[in-house]
Structure 1
Amino acid sequence: MTSTPVTRNVDGLTFAYHEAGEGEPLLMLHGSGPGVSAWSNFRDNLPVFAERFRTIMPDLPGFGGTDLPELDEVYPRAAAKWIARLMDELGIESAVFVGNSMGGAVAAELAVLAPDRVRRMALMGSGGLSVGIFQAEPSEGFKRLFEFLEEPTRERMIGWVKTMVFDPRRITDALVDERMSNATAEGVLEKTKAIFASMFDPRRQAQYTPLWTKAASVTTPTLLLWGRDDRMLPYDQAHFANRWLPDVELHTFSRCGHWIQIERKSDFERVVIEFLTRKASDLTEETGGTRHGS
């Protein structure tokens, strides 16, 4: 498995993605942030999931090797529609999903727009269906991210990636170098700013019903995964979605920040694979009621 993605033209948009394995389709949607791509987010997890699934890791629109289309609505909803088009191009009618942060919001948007296309979803430190209850807004992680976008220095990149993890020893020079190179490549900062601008534009917000207000109507079986020490999308956000999603479980990782797939790699893979491969009859209790886990 190499870092070079495959590209496809999807309705005029160049989409980049990695694919490995056979079986039930699994789409793994990465988060946002400076220099992110599917490969940077999930490359170490791909071999494990490829043993069980036809695993597809797309670069979301505007990230990595995928073009940014014109955004006439908030980004997660627009990206969900493009993921559906990519699925059409790849001959995938429905799939299971893993969504990290922004990728979780995109998966959840697709589950609302086209429930038959998302069989199950595991959402990690996800936006969209979650909402802050106790923590200040913006979070520490978002503050550091916006500071970097305003002035993209190495020092500010280090400040941001440190908010992603519980253990700062995971922040190596190689990691910072890779993210700096990706984030400062030609056109990347402009695309990243446009993506976040779409989410905070009052005109687009006025035309958009927040996903969390529809949480009770989401029928897709959902696993929420959260680092207890997440400083990007703090842990208190997990509890709104855990209360209102009809078919939900919540798994919390101690001594873990926003990058669960890195800090708790083996546990993340084990828990997600168990959920995604569980028999449908086991997803709810025998009484047919909602199952809540912790």
Structure 2
Amino acid sequence: MNTVATSEQIWRVPPVEVVHRDRYVDVDGMRTHYLDAGDGPAIVLLHSGEFGGGAETSWEYLMPALARHFRVIAPDWLGFGKTAKIHDFDSKRNRMLSHMVRFIEVMALEKAHFVGNSMGATYLLQMAAETPCRLPVDRLVAISGGGFIPDNEERRRLLDYDGSEEAMSGLLAAIFEDPVWYRDRDYVRRRHALSIAPGAWEAIAAARFRSPQAPVRSEFGGADRTPYENISAKTLIIAGDRDRLRLPGFADDLAARIPGAKASVLENAGHCPNIEQAAKVGKLIIEFLTADT
């Protein structure tokens, strides 16, 4: 479906229908980039956190379908994409979350649906579990995020990325099931170029730096202490059955901890079904967000 057969197989990812506009806004002195498309109720898309990750690469295949029903706003997290390359050595996570909360305030969004993938989904669920919740969440969709995060070989491919094109191919192989996404050389080169743009690699790799006096700690492989039972927003968990960055069955386990939540697991999908199975994910999201109950 995603390939063209010749005497030597040529791998090509599907073409993108570009419907979004690039926008910038100042958030407390930090230049913040976001994509904007469509009209209607607001839906905010929070992207994943791999090297070279950003709003465009996470959501470009999903935005055309969503923009037919919603006003779609997809910001780049602090340190990612075209947003300011700032890293907080005291608390990267808290700085990123505070920046995103302020972005929503600056955009004057009093209520919105939120969708996150991977890091974006994990952070979204964590904020939704806060009391009180800092985001104006109406309904929530978490794609391949939340729950226990194993520290395995595939995770190491993401964390140990050295900035080479070969390593980018390996990184993509860890997050996708369909090989077209890591064998299409043009796509790999595009993702590689984004990962080595000025400040891009440094802003993410800075999280590795530790004082020799600091205790060894990691957000991966440890217990997940998020109080998911506190989440009051109507929630849908989407996962791929071939996600090698999560444990089998994690989506059902996670949904069981969130009052009224539902889980949908897609066959033959990896960690980013919002990219490799965008049509199916779009249909699930639209049905979930437009359902009366």
1:245-285 alpha-carbon deviations (Å, 9 max, x no partner):
11210000111111101222111000011111112xx2xxx
**Which of residues 175, 185, 188 in structure 1 aligns to 2:197?**
185
Q: Map 1:14-53 onto structure 2 (within 5 A).
A: 14-53=31-70
> CA contact under 8 A between 1:157 and 1:180: conserved in structure 2?
yes
Between 1:87-96 and 1:68-77, the stretch displaced more is 68-77
Unaligned runs of 5+ in 2: 1-17
1:165 equivalenced with 2:184 (yes/no)? no
Q: Map 1:184-223 onto structure 2 (within 5 A).
A: 184-195=196-207, 212-223=225-236
Within 2, Cα distance between the matches of 1:251 and 1:215? 18
SS, match of residue 163 in structure 2: coil
Q: Map 1:44-83 onto structure 2 (within 5 A).
A: 44-71=61-88, 74-83=91-100
**Equivalence for 2:145:** 126
Q: Measured at CA, do residues 278 and 204 of structure 1 come closer, stay the same or move farther in structure 2, by a change above 3 Å?
A: farther
1:267 equivalenced with 2:280 (yes/no)? yes
Root mean square deviation of aligned Cα: 2.6
Between 1:237-246 and 1:70-79, the stretch displaced more is 70-79
Identity rate of aligned residues, in percent?
26
> CA contact under 8 A between 2:89 and 2:207: conserved in structure 1?
no
Report the CA distance between 1:240 and its aligned residue. Answer: 3.3
**Equivalence for 1:13:** 30
1:7-43 alpha-carbon deviations (Å, 9 max, x no partner):
1111111110010111111000110111111011111
- Greater fraction helix: 1
Within 2, Cα distance between the matches of 1:20 and 1:11? 24
> CA contact under 8 A between 1:256 and 1:264: conserved in structure 2?
yes
> CA contact under 8 A between 1:165 and 1:263: conserved in structure 2?
yes
1:182-233 alpha-carbon deviations (Å, 9 max, x no partner):
11122111101134669xx859989xxx864311111121100000000123
SS, match of residue 80 in structure 2: coil
1:257 equivalenced with 2:270 (yes/no)? yes
> CA contact under 8 A between 1:227 and 1:235: conserved in structure 2?
no
- Amino acid across the alignment from 2:171: W
Q: Measured at CA, do residues 96 and 203 of structure 1 come closer, stay the same or move farther in structure 2, by a change above 3 Å?
A: farther
1:147 equivalenced with 2:176 (yes/no)? no
1:49-89 alpha-carbon deviations (Å, 9 max, x no partner):
11111100100111001114452665444323222211111
SS, match of residue 123 in structure 1: strand
**Equivalence for 1:285:** none
**Which of residues 244, 247, 255 in structure 2 aligns to 1:242?**
255
Between 1:263-272 and 1:238-247, the stretch displaced more is 238-247
SS, match of residue 40 in structure 2: coil
- Amino acid across the alignment from 2:109: I
Within 1, Cα distance between the matches of 2:109 and 2:231? 21
- Amino acid across the alignment from 2:176: V
> CA contact under 8 A between 1:36 and 1:64: conserved in structure 2?
yes
Report the CA distance between 1:3 and its aligned residue. Answer: 7.3
Unaligned runs of 5+ in 1: 283-294
Within 1, Cα distance between the matches of 2:209 and 2:248? 25
> CA contact under 8 A between 2:43 and 2:72: conserved in structure 1?
yes
Q: Measured at CA, do residues 278 and 4 of structure 1 come closer, stay the same or move farther in structure 2, by a change above 3 Å?
A: closer
> CA contact under 8 A between 1:73 and 1:204: conserved in structure 2?
no
Within 2, Cα distance between the matches of 1:187 and 1:153? 15
TM-score by length of 1: 0.83
> CA contact under 8 A between 1:226 and 1:235: conserved in structure 2?
no
